[in-house]
Structures are given as structure tokens and as C-alpha cells.
Structure 1
């Protein structure tokens, strides 16, 4: 007498599919966890206050253009940023600041006083500054009027 024998062969496919789904879900969960841990900063800490004051900023920029171009140039050989005010500010008392703004990391931002030489220029040394993209913002006052210029530079 022959016995009926179930001849089921063992297959790994269902287990492999389940393992793949579990691994994929674990990867997605890890990705979401890492994304939630990232710092999400606005471009500036006081972005909304700056937005309200934007018309004043436009006026400052227009006044600066009317007085002449403020030259902001990076010189790799001198390892410095040259800020040059136009001749229209000659014999005027100029006070202000230079802000080095790093869009990718606000912890690297720097603020320096504007200290112009007789030729209305200032060299900002960049040897100690991290390489990459920077925005150089120059804001100053002369004859009770405020002015502003900005230039994006790549420090190499």
C-alpha cells in the first residue's frame, strides 16, 4: 500500500519578500528620523522683522546706487576682500559695518567695523575664513543718510 506523501518543497521566496519589505520600512523610518533631527533655519533669525523693514532697505540701496557703486571684490592672491566706496563720499564722515554672511551656516557669520583708509577702501583678510560662498554686506551712514551694498563672493 502506498501512502500519499505531500511532496512540498521548502522555498525562501516568501521570507525574502517579507525581509525586503521590513528592511525597506526600516530604511524609510531611519530617513524620517534623521530628517526630523535636522536644524531648519530661516535665512536669518529675525527674517520677519527684516521683511517689514524691507522698504527702508530698498531706499538705502537706491541711495547707494545714486551716490556711486560700492565695489566689493575678492582678491585670491591678496587673500582679502576689497571694499571700495565711491569718490562721492570723500571728505564725509563715514561710519558703518561689514557683515560677512555665510548662507549655509549662520555660526560662521562675522561682523567687522568699517574702517576706511584715505582712499575710501578697506581690505578684509580672508586667510582665516572658511572657503565657500559668502555674502558681503556693507551698511554705513554718511551725512545722516544710510547706505547699503551687498555682493556674493566665492572664497577659494
Structure 2
């Protein structure tokens, strides 16, 4: 068979289409981790989140994180713990949403503990969200698990 310009164009297009197909397969098999499932709806409510952040600034230092051999302990300042009506402690893993852990916080609870066996080493963001006197508050704090 003689190799002419028609054969070259055909081979080029065949290789190009095969490469496109491989790339599309690769792109479709990747896991997409948005920050939240309702990412766009949260963007619409951002002004409300700004109000929550402004209210919560006074409580930024009311949460202390300590670590021992097997336990990651989060301590809530006693004066704040008495005023909390309800809330959640959320250990958010930015790189893998399947490793997130959420624990409910009840009124008067001043300490929450996480087993290190439930956490993988790396960076988490502790999101403590609570309600006090009918208003929502939220404090975020980075946590490194070793």
C-alpha cells in the first residue's frame, strides 16, 4: 500500500479522535468534590452568612483544640457552653468529603471528643455552629490531625 497524503490525514484524524475519547473517559471518571452539594444556593445566602460571621467574631477564642494519643478534644469555654441552645461540631476535610464527621452539641456540653482512629492524618476545618438566643453563630478553626 502506498502512503499518500489521504492516508496521513486519515491516520492523524484516527489518532486525534482516539486521544479525545481517552481524555473524555479520564475526565468523566474523576471525582468532583465541591465544597458543598448546594454550593450555588449557599452563594445566594452569602449576605446572611456575613451577618453570622460578624456576630461570631466575639467567640473566636472560646474554642480550644487539644490532642492526646488517641483523642482530639475540643473544649468550649464554660460561659459559652451554658448559653448554647443546640449546635453541631463539624470536622470538614477539604480534600475528601467522605471523611467529614458531624457531631451534635447539646445545651451545656463543654467538651466534644473525636477518636483519632475516625480521622485520617492531615488538615481539617472545625466548624462549630450553634444557636443562642434564637440567633445562629459559627466559628471556623483549622485543625491538623497527626
TM (norm. structure 2) is 0.71
The 2-side partners of 1:43 and 1:54 are apart by: 14
Q: Is the 1:79–1:127 Cα contact (8 Å) retained in structure 2?
A: yes
Aligned match for 1:99, one of 86, 90, 93: 90
Higher normalized helix content (fraction of residues)? 2
- 1:114 offset after TM fit, Å? 1.4
- 1:39 offset after TM fit, Å? 2.4
* Cα pair distance change 1:131/1:116, threshold 3 Å: farther
The 1-side partners of 2:107 and 2:74 are apart by: 9
The 2-side partners of 1:100 and 1:90 are apart by: 19
Are residue 63 (structure 1) and residue 55 (structure 2) matched?
Answer: yes
* Counterpart position of 2:34: 42
The 1-side partners of 2:132 and 2:74 are apart by: 16
- 1:151 offset after TM fit, Å? 1.5
- 1:153 offset after TM fit, Å? 1.8
Are residue 136 (structure 1) and residue 126 (structure 2) matched?
Answer: yes
* Counterpart position of 1:147: 137
Unaligned runs of 5+ in 2: 1-11
What SS is found at the alignment partner of 2:98? helix
* Counterpart position of 1:73: 65
Moved more, 122-131 or 140-149: 122-131
Q: Superposition RMSD on alpha carbons, in Å?
A: 3.2
